[in-house]
Amino acid sequence: MNTANSKKAFELAQNVIPGGVDSPVRAFKSVGGTPIFIEKGEGAYLVDIDGNRYVDFVQSWGPLIFGHCDKTIELAVVDAVTKGLSFGAPTQVETKLASKICDMFDSIDKIRFVSSGTEAVMSAIRLARGYTGRDDILKFEGCYHGHSDSLLVQAGSGAVTFGTPSSPGVPADLTKHTLLAKYNDIDSVKKCFENSKNIACIILEPIAGNMGLVPADEKFLQELRSICDEHETLLIFDEVMSGFRASLKGSQGISNVVPDMVTFGKVIGGGMPVGAFGARLEIMNKLSPDGPVYQAGTLSGNPVAMFAGLASLEKILETKDLYSEFEQKAKRLVEGFKKAANKNGIELQINVRGSMFGFFFNDMPVKNFDDALKSDTDMFAKFHQAMLKEGFYFACSQFETGFICAAITDEMINDCIESAQKVLSEIK
């Protein structure tokens, strides 16, 4: 596989962009080699600047339900662009998209659109603090909620602690209000509440996608709901990744647990930059201009992103058996990987939720971040590099999630499994 143009492009990019990339994981540091520079997308495929084509199991990290350059979404975007890129003023399409989302979720009476998942989570936490009048928040090791200061924390000594900054530039005075607990471990959550009577909210990915795919146990979610009710603390589901991906209603289409607030991103923009957060009426009424909690953004509700999101959501609703087909393909893919790995004496753990899939080179089931860290990342890097040469593009980290889109065919799945069998036999 020739990647000379990508190598040259990466060298040039490093002269003017930190690390040569605008988001760190893209630098391929965890899998080795040179990042592939993309020329265009075509349905299920990515095409790089050297002309190589790859079946894309990343799909822009989730939002492309129907693959690259879907005609329905493309036409909606083109039509919107001809009327203007941005107004900084209300448009009717915002109301249309908001109404569709609110109608789908029992937990959401109103929703506010923003420009990214990071912004959605940051704003939701501010609203939770304003609503409850409390300062502390509780998050879980391995769950990523964007790069805002309060959420860039690392574990201190022991399983439960107030967070300390995990990045220079983040003041300790901010992260001291962030408590850390272990995912799928309710005892660690109870200890947090013993340490603080000032917890405004618990935030988690109910289907974690940023330590690899690690779903929360239903009993764990139920116990979180009970603890939040007992302490009058808000429960926030971060569904920036799982929303409209794990099912039509994200985790809420799988679990019986209803959160107080939900954050979205990615999919509701159909591939355009967008995020959102929503909740029941009494919480959202605290948000400016109705209430005292301030949040604003010139590009919030951007009309091009709104039209793209509306076209995508309408197509999702019109497509019969979409998520069952996604799940069948995802299961067949990772079960094929597992069979090939076991045949070669390699331990592999797999998970699937709707169109989301994950696999760990690990000899034990992965239930939390500590478990995920025990995975063989060297093996994953070798697998990633070899599968890239075979024409299959996976997330460039062991600790990310893969996605099936509607353009991925059964034949592509079969070809990928065959390539995995070949690759695993060579690198065992």
Note the pLDDT tens digit of each residue in 108-127: 999 999 999 999 999 999 99
51 in the same domain as 97: no
Sequence letter at residue 150: S
415 in the same domain as 277: no
User: Is residue 55 within 8 Å of residue 404, measured between CB atoms?
Assistant: no
User: What does the pLDDT read at residue 164?
Assistant: 58
Percent with pLDDT over 70 in the chain? 97
Direct distance between the N- and C-terminal alpha carbons of the chain, in angstroms, rounded to an integer: 22
Among 41-45, 177-181, 256-260, 275-279, the minimum mean pLDDT is found in 177-181
Per DSSP, the three-state class of 187 is helix
d(CA 376, CA 370): 13
211 in the same domain as 123: yes
Cis link prior to 273 (omega < 30° from 0)? no
Query: How sure is the predictor about 154, in pLDDT bands with cuts at 50, 70 and 90?
Result: low
Domain of 85 in residue numbering reads as 71-318
378 in the same domain as 259: no
List Cβ neighbours of 289 (8 Å cut-off, separation of 6 or more): none
- Residue 256 scores a pLDDT above 80: yes
Query: How sure is the predictor about 368, in pLDDT bands with cuts at 50, 70 and 90?
Result: very high
Is residue 63, in this structure, part of any structural domain at all?
no
- Residue 415 scores a pLDDT above 60: yes
- Residue 85 scores a pLDDT above 70: yes
Is residue 168, in this structure, part of any structural domain at all?
yes
Burial bucket for residue 147 (CB in 10 Å: 0-12, 13-18, 19+): middle
* pTM of the predicted protein model: 0.95
169 in the same domain as 39: no
Question: Which residue numbers are catalytic?
Answer: 144, 238, 266
Per DSSP, the three-state class of 55 is strand
Count of the separate structural domains present in the chain? 2
Among 74-83, 174-183, 327-336, the minimum mean pLDDT is found in 174-183
User: What does the pLDDT read at residue 338?
Assistant: 98
d(CA 338, CA 350): 7
- Residue 99 scores a pLDDT above 80: yes
CB atoms inside a 10 Å sphere around CB 217: 14
Per DSSP, the three-state class of 302 is coil
User: What does the pLDDT read at residue 190?
Assistant: 97
302 in the same domain as 162: yes
Is residue 207, in this structure, part of any structural domain at all?
yes
User: What does the pLDDT read at residue 36?
Assistant: 96
- Residue 149 scores a pLDDT above 80: no
Q: What is the mean pLDDT of residues 76-102?
A: 97
User: Is residue 154 within 8 Å of residue 164, measured between CB atoms?
Assistant: yes
Q: What is the mean pLDDT of residues 182-191?
A: 97
Q: What is the mean pLDDT of residues 307-315?
A: 97
d(CA 84, CA 316): 26
Q: What is the DSSP letter of 353?
A: E
Query: How sure is the predictor about 161, in pLDDT bands with cuts at 50, 70 and 90?
Result: very low
Is residue 349, in this structure, part of any structural domain at all?
yes
Choose one of 318, 341, 357: the last residue of a domain.
318
List Cβ neighbours of 224 (8 Å cut-off, separation of 6 or more): 186, 189, 202, 204, 235, 257
Query: How sure is the predictor about 239, in pLDDT bands with cuts at 50, 70 and 90?
Result: very high
User: What does the pLDDT read at residue 156?
Assistant: 35
For residue 294, CA distances in Å to 125, 227, 285, 414 come to: 12, 28, 12, 51
For residue 369, CA distances in Å to 224, 236, 401 come to: 18, 19, 14
Percent with pLDDT over 90 in the chain? 90
CATH no. for residue 203?
Answer: 3.40.640.10
